[in-house]
Amino acid sequence: MNEDRFRVVLAKIGFDGHDRGLRVVARMLRDAGVEVIYLGLRQTAANVVAVATQEDADAIGLSMHNAGHMTLAPRVVDAVRDAGLDIPVIVGGIIPDQDIGPLKEAGVAAILGPGASADDVVAAIKTAATKSNSS
């Protein structure tokens, strides 16, 4: 990861049509100097990974609000691994406490819940990307 050029792909996976939170996160990251590739709604795991590869992304951020996080987030992690990439996947949204452990076991690098501050969001993404790129 090049600290001068930090890039994050942001997307909504599946049919969840709620993107306000993702747009807020995009603004938070841009305000912090992070380059954001915003894919928006109704993306597939394969598309997100293809764009992350093409854009040489340092991290992938997913927003989840439709209770599909236990299926969809691991699908993206698996697609990243299947592509032979070392890009962390960070999930934000409505994630019940009991799902945090299983998501991390599935390979999700960080989880951000409602009310996460801009500093929390930026720190979680940069920390995950830094750990990923140093291993």
Q: What is the pLDDT of residues 13-49, one digit of tens each?
A: 988 777 888 899 999 999 999 999 999 899 999 999 9
pLDDT at 135 over 90: no
Separation CA 51–CA 110 (nearest Å):
20
Alpha helices (H) along the chain: 20-31, 45-54, 69-82, 97-105, 118-134
The whole-number pLDDT of residue 66 equals 76
Tell me, yes or no, whether 43 lies in a domain. Answer: no
Domain holding 13, by residue range, is 7-36+49-56+70-109+117-134
Tell me, yes or no, whether 42 lies in a domain. Answer: no
Tell me, yes or no, whether 77 lies in a domain. Answer: yes
Tell me, yes or no, whether 61 lies in a domain. Answer: no
| Count of domains for the chain | 1
pTM: 0.93
CATH number of the domain where residue 17 is located:
3.40.50.280
